Structure 1
Amino acid sequence: MRNDDDSNGASVQSVDRALTILEILAKVGEAGIGEVATTLGVHKSTASRLVSTLAAHDLVELTGERGRARLGVGVLRLAGSTSARLDLVQEARPVCQELAAETNETVNIAVLGGRSALYIDQVIGPSTITSHNWVGQHIPLHATSNGRVLVSELSPRERRATWGELTAYTEGTVTDPDELDRLVDAARERGCAVVRDELDVGLTAVAAPVRNAHGEICASMSVSGPSFRMDPERVEEVVPVLVAAAAEVSSRLGWHQEPVGLTAAT
């Protein structure tokens, strides 16, 4: 057997082998380093190095019994995150459908994904002829209503670490950190954020927080549409409906206290 960790394809091969180790342990429960090496077809030293790396991330636990390994708590953490996201989509979908039907606009659900807002579900309103499919896309936090809601309960210092590069996407994009802090603070106070023509010229969106059973913001729900249709007066009409819908999803996720500071947007 040849140890080719120094070859150009070593990184991809190591990832493939690491995933195979997880699959092995999921199937057999526990395995020794020698057993892992034999199944992978690699030297025992290579298998040991891969298992140690997985253990460092809590994906594998070393039992101390003759070097045996089993799946670690990190796998549960990842599975729990995926399960929570799937639960969110499942619980939010009927509410989003009702909201889209009532507002005739596009409704999106987003979660914090590193330094961006990750869009995980979308329902298009009946009057919307065409709409960009945002599902699966990472959208900048600073230039979107969803993004500003998702960071609204972080401290200013945490926000600035989360913003990433403050790129100007249109002439109206706010890129000044102090101004962004002011806008996010205002969004937190009134329970929603409104962004007009900052990510795309002609696009307006308003977002409200979705809370988990602990009352923490776990997602945001937005209503978006063309700016000519989502004028300030129309936004004022949408805000209470959106806030109520987001509260309904929060209730479905186990949050049974009314969010504070929910007033109409100005």
Structure 2
Amino acid sequence: MGTVQSVDRALQILEILARDGERGVTEIAGQLDVHKSTVSRLIDSLAERDLVEQNESRGKYRLGVGILRLAGATTARLDVVQEARSLSRSLAAATGETVNLAVLSEGAALYVDQVEATSAVQSHNWVGQRIPLHATSNGKVLLAGMSDDEVRAVLAGELPAYTTRTVTDVGEVVAQLAGVRHDGYVVVVDELEHGLSAVAAPVRNIHGDVIASMSVSGPTFRFTAELVDRAGAELVRCALEVSRRLGWRDLT
């Protein structure tokens, strides 16, 4: 059985169980029009990851607790967006610049929400896009939530330069992150593209883990160092409030 076909059939099994609640191997095989041995192998693989489980009294299968783990990750992401939205709007209005919210995804920063100030020039819509961790304010905040060893593992290999100001040495990036952890925010100027400046701060969950990054960004000619500092102070306050709404308490 080809790998892609196996994945497709495993997903179909999950969909059947999500729709029907419980089904036996024979019933699932009939719906997929495949041999029972094929279904058994796929169910064994899904069960190893707790994605399905067997009702021992009935001998049938149902969705397992692993589904909750995966759904929980998505729910947590949606919770961040929901809790941050009103604060992002206030921050965009106060700074006159664009506010973005990003999370870690597949070794990059994935933008999950964006709010533009009504007075700002139409900016690029980053929602749904992944950008490099080492060359962006949001990316560096997300990296700062990791240990140095984890950072080196994530940034393994050659780091691309997007502008002349992009930091491409892993050791230098790691050194920068110490400052991010100490200051609670980071400023990046012209590293991803010339003419773009941004300041970002972490959003934490109830355990204190960095689960997202909130940023304010704008054109470098307008978003001057003085304005970045002023926006940074307001940004940190908003990011802390989002973290508080997600259950985090700073006990230090």
By the TM > 0.5 criterion, same fold? Answer: yes
Report the TM-score, using the length of structure 2 for normalisation.
0.93
| Equivalent residue number for residue 264 of structure 1 | none
| Equivalent residue number for residue 17 of structure 1 | 9
1:180 equivalenced with 2:184 (yes/no)? no
User: Residues 115 and 164 of structure 1 are in contact (CA less than 8 Å); yes or no, is this contact kept in structure 2?
Assistant: no
**Which of 187, 191, 200 is equivalent to 2:184?**
191
Cα deviation for residue 11 of structure 1 reads 4.0
Deviation track 1:72-94 (CA, whole Å, cap 9, x = no partner) reads 11100111111111111111111
1:237 equivalenced with 2:230 (yes/no)? yes
User: Residues 145 and 205 of structure 1 are in contact (CA less than 8 Å); yes or no, is this contact kept in structure 2?
Assistant: yes
1:61 equivalenced with 2:53 (yes/no)? yes
| Equivalent residue number for residue 111 of structure 1 | 103
Tell me, in whole angstroms, the C-alpha distance in 2 between the residues paired with 1:89 and 1:60: 30
User: Residues 117 and 141 of structure 1 are in contact (CA less than 8 Å); yes or no, is this contact kept in structure 2?
Assistant: yes
**Which of 213, 223, 228 is equivalent to 1:220?**
213
Tell me, in whole angstroms, the C-alpha distance in 2 between the residues paired with 1:113 and 1:164: 16
User: Residues 53 and 63 of structure 2 are in contact (CA less than 8 Å); yes or no, is this contact kept in structure 1?
Assistant: yes
User: Residues 192 and 206 of structure 1 are in contact (CA less than 8 Å); yes or no, is this contact kept in structure 2?
Assistant: yes
Cα deviation for residue 63 of structure 1 reads 4.5
Deviation larger for 185-194 or 120-129:
120-129
| Equivalent residue number for residue 204 of structure 2 | 211
Alignment of 1:94-173 (within 5 A): 94-165=86-157, 166-173=159-166
Deviation track 1:97-151 (CA, whole Å, cap 9, x = no partner) reads 0100110101000111131111100001122222111111111100011111112
**Which of 29, 34, 43 is equivalent to 2:35?**
43
User: Residues 33 and 67 of structure 1 are in contact (CA less than 8 Å); yes or no, is this contact kept in structure 2?
Assistant: no
What letter is aligned with 2:176? L
Tell me, in whole angstroms, the C-alpha distance in 2 between the residues paired with 1:99 and 1:229: 17
Percent sequence identity over aligned pairs: 58
Deviation track 1:4-63 (CA, whole Å, cap 9, x = no partner) reads x3xxxx444333322221122123332221111011111111111221222232211245
What letter is aligned with 1:209? P
**Which of 11, 16, 21 is equivalent to 1:29?**
21
Tell me, in whole angstroms, the C-alpha distance in 1 between the residues paired with 2:222 and 2:65: 49
| Equivalent residue number for residue 77 of structure 2 | 85
**CA 164–113 in structure 1, closer or farther in 2 if over 3 Å, else same:** farther
| Equivalent residue number for residue 263 of structure 1 | none
Between the two proteins, the alignment pairs up a number of residues equal to: 251
| Structure 2 residue runs without a partner (length 5+) | none
- The SS at the match of 2:144 is coil
**CA 104–160 in structure 1, closer or farther in 2 if over 3 Å, else same:** same
| Structure 1 residue runs without a partner (length 5+) | 261-266
Tell me, in whole angstroms, the C-alpha distance in 2 between the residues paired with 1:164 and 1:120: 25
Tell me, in whole angstroms, the C-alpha distance in 1 between the residues paired with 2:145 and 2:211: 11
- The SS at the match of 2:29 is helix
Tell me, in whole angstroms, the C-alpha distance in 2 between the residues paired with 1:237 and 1:85: 28
What letter is aligned with 1:196? V
Tell me, in whole angstroms, the C-alpha distance in 1 between the residues paired with 2:13 and 2:145: 39
